[in-house]
Amino acid sequence: MPIDLTHIEDRSKSFAEEVELAVDRLDPDLVAGPIQVRLEGKIIPMNESFLVEASFEAKGTLFCTRCLTPVAWTGNNRFTVELRSSINDSEEEIELGEGDLDVIFLENSELDLKDLAAEQVMLGLPMRILCDPDCAGLCPKCGGNKNQEGSCTCEPDVDPRWEALSGLQGQNHKS
């Protein structure tokens, strides 16, 4: 749902929206299904820009980074971003300064809450999500899930540096 910023001139405007973000709007390598997001916050007019102070709560399903099993995920965060009109209408590239990193440049005078939710959820996704801290992952040979009994029957590779010691196995040595 877009919010028209032209009608926010001298006082803040509050918003509370629930949006569903499709996988293609996020990272399909991490996200297994749609993410439900609740955004709450306010838009505060400033001298030629707006300040958004808000929070989000999200829930959905992500993929385990080791075995690709779907894993339930919930996330939440508070954030503040500044909204400014696009500063460059030409095709020419411009360099952003350090102070521009928490700025959203708007093409028109509307704030799309779905875009804002997608950006904040992407920033809030964990770097690595695991189905279990001891997840064994996938077999690099057959692709079987090593966490499931019998899904991988591959023999483990023997490091050639240890082959010389393989003849010692089972021998009784007397010192």
Domains of the chain: which residue ranges?
A: 2-124
- Are 129 and 62 in contact by the 8 Å Cβ rule? The answer is yes
Q: In 3D, which of 76, 61, 67 has the Cα closest to residue 30?
A: 61
Partner residues linked to 106 by β-bridges: 85
Q: Cα–Cα distance between 69 and 99 in angstroms, integer?
A: 39
pLDDT at 49: 86
Q: Cα–Cα distance between 161 and 58 in angstroms, integer?
A: 49
Element (H, E) at 39: strand 35-45
Model's pTM, two decimal places?
0.75
pLDDT at 156: 77
pLDDT at 169: 66
Residues 135-164: pLDDT tens digits? 999 998 888 999 988 888 888 777 888 877
Of the CA atoms within 13 Å of residue 174, those in its CB half-sphere come to: 0
Q: In 3D, which of 119, 115, 111, 121 has the Cα closest to residue 37?
A: 121
Element (H, E) at 147: none
For residues 68-75, give the mean pLDDT. 95
pLDDT at 108: 81
Q: Cα–Cα distance between 9 and 38 in angstroms, integer?
A: 25
Residues 80-129: pLDDT tens digits? 999 887 665 555 665 555 555 577 777 788 888 999 999 999 999 998 99
